[in-house]
């Protein structure tokens, strides 16, 4: 491989896919709300779809708010976009919103369920004001739609 082609490969556009608390329980937790697909299923599907668009997906899941914040900070140096399903932190974490506000690229918030159709505390997103948009309520398709938005916004 020549130096030029190695450099091009190293510069492939990166997409950070962030998954918040309890998303590691997808496929076993509240199947009526979240469906049977596991987090690995979602990550694998997004990765394959992104690869077809020339994007490399780096995934990070954590049940700890600080880990997600650090991942956002690190992404400023490597990623062009972030797709984030912050789970319950979407409704409570001003710190995560502040971190996302410092990320200069595209940011899309994802929810498998429709928070507006659920408990009142889920109706507010602390992230909504710092992301380009939110995709919610379409189950697994929410991730696909978020990736479609990222690709369109990068074009």
Q: Which residues are marked as active site?
A: 34, 111
Q: Which tokens go with 102? A: 């410092």
Rounded Cα gap, residues 3 and 41, in angstroms: 35
Cβ count within 10 A of residue 113: 18
The single-letter DSSP state of residue 132 is S
The single-letter DSSP state of residue 123 is S
Block residue for tokens 């976009």: 81
Rounded Cα gap, residues 118 and 126, in angstroms: 16
């Amino acid at each position: 491989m020549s130096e030029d082609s190695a450099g091009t490969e190293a510069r492939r556009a990166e997409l950070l896919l962030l998954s918040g608390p309890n998303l590691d329980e997808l496929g076993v937790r509240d199947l009526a709300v979240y469906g049977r697909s596991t987090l690995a299923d979602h990550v694998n599907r997004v990765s394959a779809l992104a690869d077809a668009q020339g994007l490399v997906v780096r995934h990070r899941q954590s049940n700890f708010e600080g880990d997600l914040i650090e991942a956002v900070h690190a992404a400023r140096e490597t990623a062009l976009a972030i797709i984030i399903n912050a789970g319950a932190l979407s409704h409570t974490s001003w710190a995560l919103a502040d971190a996302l506000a410092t990320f200069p690229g595209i940011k899309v918030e994802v929810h498998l369920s429709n928070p507006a159709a659920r408990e009142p505390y889920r109706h507010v997103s602390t992230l909504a004001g710092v992301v380009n948009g939110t995709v919610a309520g379409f189950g697994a398709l929410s991730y696909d739609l978020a990736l479609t938005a990222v690709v369109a916004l990068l074009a």
